[in-house]
Every structure is written in C-alpha cells, then in structure tokens.
Amino acid sequence: MPTLSDLGQLPKRLVLGRPVRSNDAGESLLPKRLALPIFASDPLSSVAYATQEILIVLSLGGTAFLFLTPWLAGAVVLLLTVVVLSYRQVVHAYPSGGGDYEVAMKNHGQFAGLVVASALLTDYVLTVAVSVSSGTDNIISALPALAQHRVLIAVVLVALLVAANLRGVRESGKTFAVPTYLFITGIMVMIVTGLFRDFFTDNPVVAESATYSITPEGDYAQVTGLALIFFVLRAFASGCTALTGVEAIANGVPAFRPPKSRNAATTLALMGGIAATMFAGVTALALLSDVRYAENACDLVGFTDCETAPQPTVIAQVAAATFGGPQSVGFFYIQAATALVLILAANTAFNGFPLLGSVLAQDRFMPRQLHTRGDKLVYSNGILLLAGFAVLLLVAFDADSTKLIQMYIIGVFTSFTIGQWGMVRHWNRELRTQTDPVERRRMQRSRVINTVGGLLTTVVLVIVVVTKFAGGAWIVIGSMPLIFLLMRSINRHYSNVARQLVPDSDARTLPSKVHAVVLVSKVHKPTLRALAFARATRPDVLTALTVNVDDADTRDLQLDWERYDIPVPLTVLESPFREITRPVVDFVKDIRRSSPRELVVVFVPQYVVGHWWENLLHNQSALRLRTRLQFQPGVMITSVPWQLESSVGRDGDGGGRPAPGDLRRGLTTDAEQTPYG
C-alpha cells in the first residue's frame, strides 16, 4: 500500500526512476561502446554543420572561392588529428577527470586554471545551444511547416535531454547510443553511395541548388592581398567547429570502466578517426554535388521562396542528391538521424559540465551543491544549471544556429591552448626526474606531440578571436572574465569561512554558566513543553519571559501562571510601543553584556503545521525572533516543535503506531502522567 510520501515522490520517480545507492556507483561506469556515443556525440555530429560553416563564409564572395573548400577541410582534419593525439597524452597523464582545468591548475597555477574553467563552462553552455538549434534546423529542413515553432521545439528538446540525463549515466548512454550509431552508419553509407555514383556510374550526385548562382556580399568578390588572407582564415575558423567536444573525453575519464586511461584513450582515437572520415566525406560530396548555401538565402539566385521557405541545410541537400530526392527513404533517414544526433550531441556538455562543476566545487571555486550527486548518482544540480543557461541563450538568439555559432569555439581553443602548453611543462618536469631510457623516450615523444598541438591551437585561437570577434565572439570574451571573477569570489568566501572556523585555544573552554530563556505567550501545552525541556537541560538560570504588549492579556497570563502553579518565575518585559522582538533581543544582550562568558539558550515554542497556508497564521513572531537572535554572539536558539493535528501522518507513517508528535502533543500515557516531561 503506497504511503503519502510515496505518492508525493511519484512524479519524480516517473522521470528519474528508482534512486541508486552510493555503493552501486561502480555499476554506472561505462564500457567503450557506450562511452563513445556519450562523450563523442558532439564532435561526431559536428560534421552536420562544419562543412556548412565553411561554405557560408566562402559564399560571401559568390562562387569564386568555393575551390578553397577542400584545402580548408584538409587543414581542419590535420588540426583535429593533432588535437586528438594531444588529448591522448592528457588522458594518460591526468586520469582524474579535470582535463585542461587540472592540467592548467597543476602546471600554470590558479589564474590559468580558472581561465580554462571559465572557457570550458562557457563552451559547454554553447554546445547545448548550438547542437540543439542545429538539430532543430534539420527537423525544419525535413518538415518546413514547423519553422515558426523553432524556439519552442529547441526548449522542449533541452527539457527532454535534462530528463534523460537525470536518469543516470548508463541509462542516458543507452538512450544516446542507438541514434549515434545510426547516424554514423547513415553518413558512412551516404558517403560510399555518393562517391560510388559519382566515380563509377553515369548518374553522379547533383544537389538541388547546383543550378543556383550566389550574389556576392558587398566587396567580397574583389578581395585580394591581406583581405583575402583574412577572408580565408575566417572560413577556416568557421570550419574548426568540427573540433568542438574533443576535450569531453579527457574530462570524463572517471566515468570509464577500468583501465580508465587506456579505455578513454582508445575511445578518443575512435572518435577522431570516425569524425575526420565523416567530415572529409560530407565535404567531398558537397563539392561533387555542387551544393550552394548562403547565410542570406536571398543571395541564392534561383531560390524563389527565400523570404518564406527555410533554406535546406548542406547535409539535407547532400542526402537528397545521394538518395534520389527530398522524398526518398534515405533522405528522411539521414535527416532523422542527423537531427537526433545533433540534439543528443548536447549530451557531451551534459556530461562534461557537471563533472567539471564537481571538480571546481571540490576546489571551492563553485558552490558545494555542484559536488553533490543526486538520486541516480549524477550531478543533478550541474545538469539543471547547464540547462537553464542554455535555454536562456536559445530564447535570446531565437535558436538561430548561425548566430550562436559565432560565439562558439572561443572557449574550446582557449582551453586547448592553455592545456597543451601545460602538458609541455608537465613533461619538462617529469623528464628532470625520470632516468629510465624507455620512459624518457615516451615522455619526449609526448612532449613533441603536445608542443605541436600547442603551437597549432595558439595560432587557431588568434585566428578565431580576430575573425569572429565582431560576429558575436565578443560576448564570450566578455563573459569569461565575469565567470573568472565569480569563481575567485566564491573561493575567497569559502577560504574566509574556513579561516573563521579553525578552532582556537579556548575552543574547549566551557561557558561559566548557562542561562535558559523560555519565551512565553500564554499558558498552553507548547509553553509547558518548552519549559519542561528547558528544565531537563538543567541550566544554571532559567527565565520564563513574556512581553507586555497588552495589559489585560498580560494580567490574564499572570493569573494562569499562578493557577497552574508553574515552578518558574515569570519575567515580564514592558513594551510601550507594542514590539515583541526588540525587548527580547535587548534582554538577551543585557545578559551577555553583564556576563560575556555566559551562554544564553533561548527556547522558542513552534507549531508544526500540515498545510503551507497555516504557516501564514502561525510562527511569524517566532520567525522574526530567531532571525534577530541568530546574529547575537554567545546565543543559541532551540526550537521546541509542537505538532498540530493537521500535521499528524504527513510523513506517511501509520499502521496503528503512535504518530510522530504524540509525545509532544500529550497523547501518550507517559505524557499524561508527566505534564512537564
């Protein structure tokens, strides 16, 4: 028979499932087949928009610069390879899950560590926003009628991701594994099919937009010299979105099954190889099929519905060209798989952000609540915080992936760069003490890899900042210092509190005496119970205290006091202005002033109610008193609860046993025999 407590938990259990014991944490560790879709869905899914981002920039100059696409894609693949190799060194050297943050903190110090943390936190939020908005784009490409509901669709998708992640790591991994593998399979089949048709048949792939021409924006058709170099670098920077999420595996090493480092490194290599292959293949098909895509759809000469109809994404055009049109089964398969994997790519952030938040909280740079696991052994607070910021971005930017992506990858390459140079310092330090020739050769090889990675990511970071600053990157560049300062402030607060709580030399010194003060409003059961508890503590001095705000009520109280023969003198405080809180506080201050080593314990009777609205009718004076008294040094406040009938059974207990509060309410034999406890 379910209890009231069980029924109250029902909505939570429907969403999250049964809670998981702390000692079952090992069951949440991931095998490689689940770790790949969980941690690598972001870089794998970026093939759906990385090629598109290159084409968007190159199309500003019309069709004149599209020949640069394969060279830029090749540079992106080379960079991806170097970064993956570099992070394999991080995974082996720092398996605790801190990733670039831990590398920076241990090798560069706190300042660099917090810069990396602020960059990663910002990037994780943008990962969710960009992935979900891009997934929404692909849904709309297949179902254009949904275009007017873009923001609502994106927000609902984030909510579904939150629910899936709150259910736990293994369950979310199973949820995400199938779509990710379906996406990989679909893209690989599409690449093979498209290349086979183009090179071995008389029916090459041709995009629907192949007949369109592109109107150049402004003077882009005439760019030369330095302007041309800047233009090409801008396109390269846009293509670098293919590298987003690579660092997530380094941050998620603790979630892998043992041997953690080796399994994480293997998963990282698999992710890099698959992502590079798919990105290169999609780019090749986009060029072979003559895809035309522009930031402003009306720049496409021949696209007649540019004012109303959404422009099909590059991946949608390639799928349609490969599988026989926008009504083919293959087209809908690719669109469904792409939309799903883009939405689920946000899961990379939903795993990375909470883990990083937990590490930061443990180091006292974030609130301690982020270090606490929820019912399903996941960092629930981090998941909810990430979702909240992502939804704000989606609403603020209308879930427009083109706008959001301009802010992207700043944080990625900031953390890449600082992390790689931190690894170089790590290997330099290790080589100074290592004498084994085999280990020295391994370390020297790792140092070379991280040095090359550091050089390349530094150059790319400069390119990204310069080329994307005006397009929206300034928002991220401005946000990172604010997050940095917030973390420093939180750390300073925790450090100050810790310093205040260090025991001093007289920490074990007992107070000279204890003065108990029981607050009295009238003679009733709660008051008598509070007096009984106060007497049971055997204080040196016991004062029953009331405040005279109405002469008639006070006289009635004194008469009742005498009639019940209460063995504690009643002290009455005068209050000419009918205040209650100030006279009591002043009375307590006077006790402390006359005897600074005296401990004052104030007993406050309090009603326990069963309905929220009853709190508005009771306990208000007690609440104000506790609020004021808690700021007084040497004063303890003891609440003496008295359960009203409305609260009995609210915890779901029953079965004929005495209900909670029966003793305090005087409903047991012992209570009836001993009125003062």
Q: What is the pLDDT of residues 504-528, one digit of tens each?
A: 665 566 667 889 999 898 888 888 8
Closest CA to 345 of 33, 42, 55, 54: 42
- Say what the pLDDT of residue 510 is: 63
- Say what the pLDDT of residue 418 is: 93
Closest CA to 69 of 79, 54, 90: 54
Closest CA to 45 of 400, 390, 464, 343: 343
Residue 259 CB neighbour total at 10 angstroms: 11
What does each C-alpha distance from 23 to 35, 44, 170, 355 come to in angstroms?
21, 33, 15, 19
Pair 85, 449: CB distance under 8 Å: yes
* CATH architecture of the domain with residue range 37-495: Up-down Bundle (1.20)
Say how far apart CA 406 and CA 477 lie, in whole Å: 12
Instruction: Tell me the residue type at 227.
Output: A
37-495 and 514-673 share one fold: no
Show Cβ contacts of residue 138 under 8 Å, excluding neighbours closer than 6 positions.
48, 313, 315, 316, 335, 338, 339, 342
- Say what the pLDDT of residue 70 is: 92
- Say what the pLDDT of residue 611 is: 78
Which parts of the chain register pLDDT below 70?
1-28, 98, 168-176, 218-221, 307, 372-378, 503-511, 648-677
Strand partners, 548: 574
CA angle 662, 667, 668 (to 5 degrees): 90
Tokens 């391994």 correspond to 442
Say how far apart CA 90 and CA 250 lie, in whole Å: 7
Top-tier CATH class for 514-673: alpha beta
pTM, entire model: 0.71
Provide the residue ranges of all domains of the chain, joining segments of one domain with +: 37-495, 514-673
Which tokens hold the place of 141?
Answer: 């490409």
Query: What distance lies between CA 405 and its chain's CA centroid?
Result: 19
- Say what the pLDDT of residue 506 is: 58
Element (H, E) at 514: strand 514-519
